[in-house]
Amino acid sequence: MNKLDGVHPKLATQVQTILDVMHIIGYPMMVTDGVRSMVQQHDLYARGRTQPGLIVTNCDGVKKRSPHQVRDDG
């Protein structure tokens, strides 16, 4: 699975260019999160609240959406 699947095409192209250049100059990078579903975002929101662990986000995925969730413009 490509982490850039579902990311706005213009952004995905720019990020891929950066990844390619960084690899060429000896500083490989990777994308850890691209698009998250509402369920994935809600699970992250639960960490440190109703699930064990540290709080990792203040975006619940419903009332407050994460920048990692799909927007109307794709």
Q: What is the per-residue pLDDT across 8-60, written as a single tens digit (0 to 9) for each? A: 899 999 999 999 999 999 999 999 888 998 999 999 999 999 999 999 999 99
The Cα 73–Cα 4 span in angstroms is 16
Q: Where are the domains of the chain?
A: 1-34, 36-74
The pLDDT score that the predictor gives to residue 74 is 63
HSE-up of residue 42 (Cα within 13 Å, Cβ side): 5
Query: What pLDDT is stored for residue 31 in this prediction?
Result: 94
1 pLDDT tier (thresholds 50, 70, 90): low
- 73 with 10: CB under 8 angstroms? no
Dihedral through CA 7, CA 13, CA 15, CA 17, nearest 10? 160
pLDDT score for 33? 86
Global pTM value? 0.68
